[in-house]
Structure 1
Amino acid sequence: MNEQDTIVVTESLHEVGLALLAEHGEVVRLTPAMGERRAALGSASAIITQVHPIDRELIAAAGRLRVIGKHGVGVDNIDIAAATEHGVSVVNTPGANARSVAEHTLAMLLSLARRLPVLDQAVREGDFGIRRDLRLADLHGRTIGVLGAGHTGRMVLELCCGALGMRGIAYDVTPPDPSGLPAGCEVAGTLEETLSRSDAISINLPLTPSTRGAIGERELSLLRPGAFVINVGRGGVVDEAALAAAVRTGVIAGAAVDVFAAEPPDVASPLLNTPGIILSPHAAGLGTGAGEEIARRLAGDVLRVLRGERPEHAVNPEVYQGGSASR
């Protein structure tokens, strides 16, 4: 590793990871006020990103770039093809924040079912009598459908079925192994079957050509009356206008969204202007324990690449020839 390696962190990274990286190179943390953000990225040997786009133009211009680290799992904000063409390794941290995302999902589901934002606001406004008029949902015995049965989806099923006594259905583009699911959970053969049997769905799918726009008006109409939709996967999987319309018209009882097609979302987005939708800023995976684990794993793999070693979690392993990146 060259002592002059520059490691650029586009958003946040737990201090444990920052300390590990700082032992081996100069760490530059981008800030909104930094006027030369693109220039800083262009001089990087390594870039660590959460949602900041790492596009073809940036990759081509960054002549020293050897590795891009993704804080989390989904790499749709990184041009993998361009990275591969330029011999740049892309690494991520599969499973590191699965429990954090699953707990966030559970919190969102309970908030929707018990209408916590509405109750909180009513008390603040002196409307204690609202308790006589609201119908709050119980979740025990209801069915949770999980779209995307990876680390996080399985953890969502474990929490919902184990803690709340819900029934679970798992669907994925590639059918999951039933033996890897919590006891009592089923595997659905089709997306339509999952939706038609679900009182709530947790969307944990990555954004790919096959999943983009997978949940639209037709799919939402298949859900059971009074259903809840939670998206902690990727914003582009869901038609946001259709989701907002489904909440407004009562097709579903409510929605919770942590990820958006554009981040941050436009102030005119229907998601921001529809009562009955709970929002969070792509924060589901940012629990303290998850943040530290992600930082350790990510720093470790970034440093392996900079030392000329093969990383543990390479998204594009084809860039390697004989154990080291080709660039």
Structure 2
Amino acid sequence: MSHRVVFLDRASLKASVRKPFFAEEYIEHQQTDSVSIVERLQGATVAITNKVPLREDILKELPQLKMIAVAATGYDVIDIPYCKAHGIAVANIRNYAVHTVPEHAFALILALRRNILAYRQDVEAGVWQRSEQFCFFNHAIGDLHGATLGIVGEGVLGEATAKIARDGFGMKVLFADHAPPKKPGVTFTPFADVLKEADVISLHCPLTADTRNVIGEKELKMMKPSALLINTSRGGLVDEQALIKALQEGWIAGAGFDVLTTEPPTHGHPLLEVRRPNFILTPHVAWASDGAMQFLADQLIDNIELWFKGTPQHLVT
């Protein structure tokens, strides 16, 4: 069998990607819209996708497709049950963002905990220049030392975030017992207790039926009014309308998000309209350090080549 490998959204990865050694054809498309997926994958045995969805209606038109390499950890864009039923191998990326995502989470946490945006706005507005002393105290500044970090998600990213919290800042860490599966060796705290006790909640879990809207109005109201909510995982984990209400009404002190339910938000999104110094939105770049992306690109092709050799790794099917 000859092998045709097609990368549907190459522009989503800023790194060098080598051609799989066995591929007679290796084709890269910078982006792929929904109407072009089937045409571009005709005859392909391997598809590479980051965010281009491959659902049953698409997959049933591609009888030659044998393997899908996801250029990300999350694989909610793939119809996993269909792939399992039809023998299509699906592999994802593991452990590539173990430094960059936790670092981004703490960038958000520090900026919000110390009200850096609010103070910068004041400086730009001339408040410092009009001050009668060397500094001013318009906004609360909270230390992280001794504060409690609640983590939803006990995978490598959750654990790496916990390590920074404990070792770097002297924080107490609670892992929320939120949904199966549970990881051996990790001590869990009831989800409700974490919501009530944590000074910062950081989300590091995949988007599944169990975790969709895991943080909604009920959960936001359980959090401390002084608490922060950080999401560098998936937009669907949080009810975004409830979050807007929580920020407007002061249920929580602030939020830092790197993800939205719809990406890119080409037709607008309510969180894009939030103009508050206690809310930071970044464009899904927590994962995207140069080093992390090259690690991802190398593992992506490793996954494909090991599948071809009959010794697959990182399968989710």
TM interval, short-chain normalised: 0.7 to 0.9
Structure 2: stretches of 5+ with no match in the other structure: none
AA aligned to 2:176 is Y
Match of 2:311 in 1: 310
Distance 2:125 2:37 in 1: 44
Asked whether 1:138 is paired with 2:143, we answer: yes
Aligned partner letter, 1:214 = V
Kindly state the Cα deviation for residue 259 of structure 1 after the two structures are TM-superposed: 1.9
* 1:42-94 deviations in Å (ceiling 9; x for gaps): 45332222222222222122233221112222211111112223321110122
Q: What secondary structure sits across from 2:75 in the alignment?
A: coil
* CA distance in 2: counterparts of 1:165 and 1:59, whole angstroms: 49
Q: Which moved more, 1:241-250 or 1:117-126?
A: 117-126
C-alpha displacement at 1:22, in angstroms? 7.4
Residue equivalent to 2:291: 289
Alignment check: 8 A CA contact 2:152 2:176 kept: yes
TM-score by length of structure 1 reads: 0.85
Q: CA deviation at 1:106?
A: 0.9
Q: Which moved more, 1:129-138 or 1:248-257?
A: 129-138
How far apart, CA to CA, are the structure 1 residues paired with 2:61 and 2:128? 60
CA contact (8 A) 1:60 1:86 kept: no
What letter corresponds to residue 288 of structure 2 in structure 1? L
Q: CA deviation at 1:169?
A: 0.4
2:67 is the counterpart of 1:67: yes
The equivalent of 1:202 in structure 2 is 202
Say whether residues 1:161 and 2:166 are aligned partners.
Answer: yes
Residue type at the aligned position of 2:286: A
Report 1:170-319 matches (<5 A): 170-172=175-177, 173=179, 174-178=181-185, 187-188=188-189, 190-265=190-265, 268-274=268-274, 275=276, 276-305=278-307, 307=308, 309-316=310-317
Letter in 1 for 2:301: A
Distance 2:127 2:64 in 1: 60
SS at match of 1:77: coil
Task: Report if aligned partners of 1:30, 1:37 keep a CA contact under 8 Å in 2.
Answer: no
Provide, for residues 281-326 of structure 1, a one-character-per-residue CA deviation record: whole Å limited to 9, x for no partner.
Answer: 2221111221111111111111233x3523111100xxxxxxxxxx
Shift in CA distance, 210/105, structure 1 to aligned 2, threshold 3 Å: same
SS in 2 for 1:98: coil
Deviations 1:94-153 (A, max 9, x none): 222122111111111111112233333444444435943122222111100000111000
1:138 aligned counterpart, secondary structure: coil
Do 2:104 and 2:286's aligned partners in 1 also have CA atoms closer than 8 Å?
yes
Asked if the contact 2:119–2:139 (Cα under 8 Å) also holds between the matched residues in 1, the reply is no
Task: Call closer, same or farther: CA 1:301–1:203 in 2, change over 3 Å.
Answer: same
- Say which is worse superposed, 201-210 or 54-63, in terms of deviation: 54-63
Equivalent residues of 2:217, 2:243 under 8 A apart: yes
Contact 2:148/2:198, CA 8 A, preserved across alignment: yes
1:128 aligns to what SS in structure 2?
coil
For structure 1, the 5+ residue unaligned runs are: 181-185, 317-327
Structure 1 distance, partners of 2:288, 2:33, is: 23
| Structure-1 separation of matches of 2:121 and 2:42 | 47
CA distance, structure 1, for counterparts of residue 196 and residue 34 of structure 2 = 49
Paired residues for 1:120-135 under 5 Å: 120-128=120-128, 131-135=136-140
Which stretch shifts more, 21-30 or 48-57?
Answer: 21-30
Answering whether residue 100 of structure 2 is matched by residue 100 of structure 1, we say: yes
Q: Residue type of the partner of 1:165? A: G
The corresponding residue for 1:183 is none
Change (3 A) 1:124 1:71: farther
TM-score w.r.t. structure 2 length?
0.87
| Residues matched between the structures, number | 306
1:251-293, Cα deviation, whole Å (9 max, x unpaired): 1011111122221236543321222321122221111221111
Identity value in percent? 30
Q: CA RMSD in A?
A: 2.5
* Separation (CA, whole Å) in 1 of partners of 2:238 and 2:89: 29
Whole-angstrom CA distance in 2 between matches of 1:85 and 1:34? 23
Moved more, 115-124 or 193-202: 115-124
